[in-house]
């Protein structure tokens, strides 16, 4: 027969007295992994910092090299212009996909099918060599006079071709992001908006989109960061973006790694800035929602260091 | 308990809602098999019946959230969703016309469907300001009054996520009232609520019923239906089995199916009897 302590003994057991009164469990795994990471990571950084082959002086001197600066500026311009085009064209394609008009729906389907189905490089070259297909772009009334005509090459230069290629290609992916975001909003929201007599356009703008933005922004942030680096493919049509400029320099001085470090430095600066913008936007559109989150810098830096945030209580 | 609604001077005696032989199918499933129903102005009608009997679908048809296949469904003397063309055939309404019709018909949903990114007050004024084009200041003042009427003037600046289910549903009722509707439809307004929160919503609805509002309510609250309904409609398998004053349909049902349903509901719901 097992021994059962009497009531007095149970009542005499030590009691909890707030958070400080308990010996917490030891996380030996965390300590072990921290030591391992410090050893391996620290060793690698030490090697990098002290290696004679890693010419940090070259990296440092090239950081603000005029060619690097102009390459960086071009990369930023390309990213901003292409993403602007992607966001606009993606919104158009996305809304067309969800339209009640079957013509718009199928046009959108085919355009997305083509833009996602062919390589980006091909699309870039297509826009670049458009002049060989249509030397002049003109606005003509069918069977009537030509209103104006313009030399294709003067309208679409290298930069224009790059923006069209990158932007429209990304727009096809953005269209799906918009569509998923809109479909993720509860159908009851649409019904409630209809029941107060809102038109489709108004309920989209006032009710559905503000809620869909919470689902649209994170993948759009991803797409923008991805675009920042994808812009380096414009090398193919002869535009010196950040990475190309760096490559041109190390082709002359053979300091590949130090100069690639320069490129990485600037890419990281840009993505960090984008991440901050993204978390600001996410906070803006999380109005009225209890669970806030997203990829903010603090959670990036120390997911293990901080205790898990308790979700805010609902006020009754 | 008021059985007879007050017909004030000026209100016509034409029914607010007229349904004749309303049929509706989802694919091969016949959800409504010929519904006949009249709702007079100021009348409170409770639709009861087992789940799957078509009560909610019928309610949604009145607001054109679903389209009917056959029959006649008119609100305030006009087809809902259609107008009569010059040759006498029915023509589909444009989106504009549909929106106009829906303005006059309020709806309260089972899951509240408040706009989560707006405060309670913003939820209430969104329709009057955005759809009716009312002045924002006046609409806000009226919205505060409506929130007061549902007992939530102190929650005007709270977001839906900060409100309990019962409070959310009361805001939803205020939102419907803000459009000054001729008719309010309630789709199981207390089914998603914790038991202790049901009472506060029913109280608001009771006050509303006494104020002469025309209401069509899909509900499982038999005791409530007995209290406030002028007309109780028992539906089963897409048809109206029995309808009449609560004293008849709930106390002395003529149909066997009604009796069975009431027994099954009372079995789990002691206070209903």
According to the model, what pLDDT value does residue A2 have?
Answer: 65
According to the model, what pLDDT value does residue B134 have?
Answer: 95
- Set of chain B residues whose Cβ sits within 8 Å of the Cβ of A288: 116-119, 159-161
Q: Is A66 on the interface with B (CB under 8 A)?
A: no
- Set of chain A residues whose Cβ sits within 8 Å of the Cβ of B63: 194-195
Taking only the tens place, the pLDDT of each residue in A106-126 is 999 999 999 999 999 999 999
According to the model, what pLDDT value does residue A237 have?
Answer: 87
Out of A186, A199, A287, name the one closest to residue B117 (CB).
A287
Counting residues of chain B whose pLDDT is more than 70, the rounded percentage is 93
Q: A192–B107: do the CB atoms touch at under 8 Å?
A: yes
**Sequence-ordered alpha helix ranges (H) in B156-221:** 165-177, 195-210
Instruction: Give contacts of A 172-201 with B, CB under 8 A.
Output: 186, 188-189, 191-200
Q: B131–A198: do the CB atoms touch at under 8 Å?
A: yes
Task: Give the nearest chain A residue to B131 (CA atoms).
Answer: A198
- Set of chain A residues whose Cβ sits within 8 Å of the Cβ of B113: 186, 188-189, 191-192
According to the model, what pLDDT value does residue A288 have?
Answer: 82
Out of A188, A288, A314, name the one closest to residue B113 (CB).
A188
Which helix H or strand E contains B90, and what residues bound it? strand B90-92
Taking only the tens place, the pLDDT of each residue in B173-222 is 999 999 999 999 999 999 999 999 999 999 999 999 999 999 999 999 99
Q: B65–A192: do the CB atoms touch at under 8 Å?
A: no
Assess contact for B110 and B188: CB atoms under 8 A: yes
According to the model, what pLDDT value does residue B2 have?
Answer: 40
- Set of chain A residues whose Cβ sits within 8 Å of the Cβ of B175: 196
Q: B176–A288: do the CB atoms touch at under 8 Å?
A: no
For chain A, what's the residue count?
A: 316
Q: B96–A189: do the CB atoms touch at under 8 Å?
A: no
The pair of three-digit structure tokens given for residue B147, joined into one six-digit string: 């929130």
Q: Which 3-state string (H, E, C) describes A131-187?
A: HHHCCEEEEECCCCCEEEEEEHHHHCCHHHHHHHHHHHHHHHHHHHHHHHHHHCCCH
Q: What is the largest CA-CA distance in chain B?
A: 56
Confidence of residue A238 (pLDDT cuts 50, 70, 90): confident
ipTM given for this complex: 0.90
pTM across the whole model = 0.81
Indicate if the pLDDT at residue A306 is higher than 60: no
According to the model, what pLDDT value does residue A291 have?
Answer: 47
Nearest to B117 by CA among A42, A287, A253, A305: A287
B191 phi, psi to nearest 5 deg: -70, -25
Domain ranges of chain B: 114-180
Task: Give the nearest chain B residue to A214 (CA atoms).
Answer: B117
Confidence of residue A135 (pLDDT cuts 50, 70, 90): confident
Q: Is A24 on the interface with B (CB under 8 A)?
A: no
Q: B161–A196: do the CB atoms touch at under 8 Å?
A: no
Counting residues of chain A whose pLDDT is more than 70, the rounded percentage is 91
According to the model, what pLDDT value does residue B270 have?
Answer: 45
* CA separation, residue A226 to residues A147, A212, A214, B98, B121 (Å): 40, 22, 19, 44, 41
Chain centre distance of CA A306 = 25
The pair of three-digit structure tokens given for residue A205, joined into one six-digit string: 């703008």
Q: B95–A199: do the CB atoms touch at under 8 Å?
A: yes
Compute the distance between CA of residue A274 and CA of residue A296 in angstroms, rounded to an integer: 11
Confidence of residue A226 (pLDDT cuts 50, 70, 90): very high
- The CATH code of the domain at A54-139+147-285 is 1.10.3720.10
Q: B95–A207: do the CB atoms touch at under 8 Å?
A: no
Task: Give the nearest chain B residue to A189 (CA atoms).
Answer: B113
Confidence of residue A152 (pLDDT cuts 50, 70, 90): confident
Q: Is B212 exposed, middle or buried (0-12, 13-18, 19+ CB in 10 A)?
A: middle
């Amino acid at each position: 027969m097992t021994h059962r302590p009497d009531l007095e003994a149970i009542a005499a057991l030590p009691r909890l007295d707030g958070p400080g009164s308990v010996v917490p469990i030891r996380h030996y795994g965390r300590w072990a992994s921290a030591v391992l990471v410090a050893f391996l990571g620290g060793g690698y950084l030490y090697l990098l910092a002290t290696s004679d082959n890693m010419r940090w002086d070259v990296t440092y001197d090239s950081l603000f090299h005029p060619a690097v600066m102009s390459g960086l500026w071009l990369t930023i311009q390309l990213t901003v212009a292409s993403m602007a085009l992607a966001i606009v064209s993606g919104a158009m394609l996305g809304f067309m996909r969800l339209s009640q008009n079957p013509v718009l729906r199928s046009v959108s389907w085919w355009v997305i099918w083509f833009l996602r189905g062919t390589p980006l490089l091909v699309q870039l070259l297509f826009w670049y060599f458009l002049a060989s297909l249509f030397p002049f772009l003109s606005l003509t009334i069918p069977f009537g006079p030509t209103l104006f005509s313009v030399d294709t090459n003067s309208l679409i230069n290298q930069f224009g071709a790059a923006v069209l290629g990158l932007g429209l290609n990304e727009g096809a992916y953005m269209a799906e992001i918009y569509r998923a975001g809109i479909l993720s909003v509860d159908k009851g929201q649409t019904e409630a908006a209809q029941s107060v007599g809102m038109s489709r356009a108004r309920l989209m703008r006032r009710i559905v989109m503000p809620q869909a933005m919470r689902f649209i922004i994170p993948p759009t942030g991803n797409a923008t960061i991805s675009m920042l680096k994808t812009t380096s493919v414009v090398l193919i049509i002869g535009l010196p973006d950040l990475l190309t400029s760096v490559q041109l320099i190390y082709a002359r001085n053979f300091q590949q790694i130090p100069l690639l470090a320069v490129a990485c430095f600037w890419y990281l600066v840009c993505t960090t800035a984008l991440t901050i913008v993204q978390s600001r936007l996410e906070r803006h559109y999380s109005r009225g929602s209890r669970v806030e989150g997203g990829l903010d810098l603090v959670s990036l830096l120390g997911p293990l260091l901080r205790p898990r945030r308790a979700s805010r209580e609902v006020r009754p | 308990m008021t059985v007879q609604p007050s017909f004030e001077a000026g209100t016509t005696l034409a029914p607010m809602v007229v349904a004749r032989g309303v049929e509706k199918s989802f694919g091969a499933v016949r959800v409504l098999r010929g519904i006949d129903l009249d709702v007079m102005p100021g009348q409170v009608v409770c639709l009861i019946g087992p789940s799957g009997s078509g009560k909610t679908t019928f309610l949604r048809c009145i607001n054109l959230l679903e389209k009917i296949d056959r029959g006649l469904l008119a609100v305030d003397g006009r087809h809902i969703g259609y107008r009569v063309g010059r040759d006498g055939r029915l023509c589909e309404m444009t989106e504009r016309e549909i929106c106009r019709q829906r303005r006059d018909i309020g709806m309260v949903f089972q899951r509240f469907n408040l706009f989560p990114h707006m405060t309670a007050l913003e939820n209430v004024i969104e329709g009057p300001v955005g759809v009716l084009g009312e002045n924002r200041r006046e609409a806000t003042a009226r919205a505060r009054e409506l929130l007061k009427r549902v007992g939530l003037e102190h929650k005007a600046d709270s977001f839906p996520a900060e409100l309990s289910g019962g409070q959310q549903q009361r805001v939803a009722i205020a939102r419907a009232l803000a459009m000054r509707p001729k008719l309010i439809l309630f789709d199981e307004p207390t089914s998603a609520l914790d038991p202790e929160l049901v009472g506060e919503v029913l109280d608001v609805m009771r006050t509303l019923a006494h104020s002469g509002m025309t209401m069509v309510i899909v509900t499982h609250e038999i005791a409530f239906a007995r209290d406030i309904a002028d007309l109780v409609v028992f539906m089963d398998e897409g048809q109206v089995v029995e309808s009449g004053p609560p004293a008849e349909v709930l106390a002395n049902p003529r149909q066997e199916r009604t009796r069975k349903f009431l027994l099954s509901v009372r079995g789990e719901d002691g206070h209903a009897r």
